[in-house]
Amino acid sequence: MASAADRMRDMRARRRAVGLREIRLVVPDTRSPAVRRQIAEQVASLDPADEEAAMRWIEAVSEFDEPPISKT
């Protein structure tokens, strides 16, 4: 039987052959109390007016929103 390293190498080769590329992401661990505290502090420091403006912009440029309902 092939080793785990050989199986991974073969899997990556198969993926590359069909145009896929593996990437790795390192993200904050939201289970960590320190990370949760830092996120809470950052959220608390947000300016509600700026956030409202950002949400209006996102809604205005969204490609997935349904068209407005006609009032006729």
Higher pLDDT, 63 or 27: 27
Which pLDDT score, from 0 to 100, does residue 66 have?
65
Higher pLDDT, 65 or 30: 30
Whether residue 13 is predicted with pLDDT greater than 90 in this model: the reply is yes
Which pLDDT score, from 0 to 100, does residue 49 have?
96
Q: What is the DSSP string of 15-40?
A: HHHTT----------TTSHHHHHHHH
**Does the predicted model carry a pTM greater than 0.75?**
no
Percentage above 90 pLDDT, the chain: 76
Q: How far is CA 55 from the centre of its chain?
A: 17
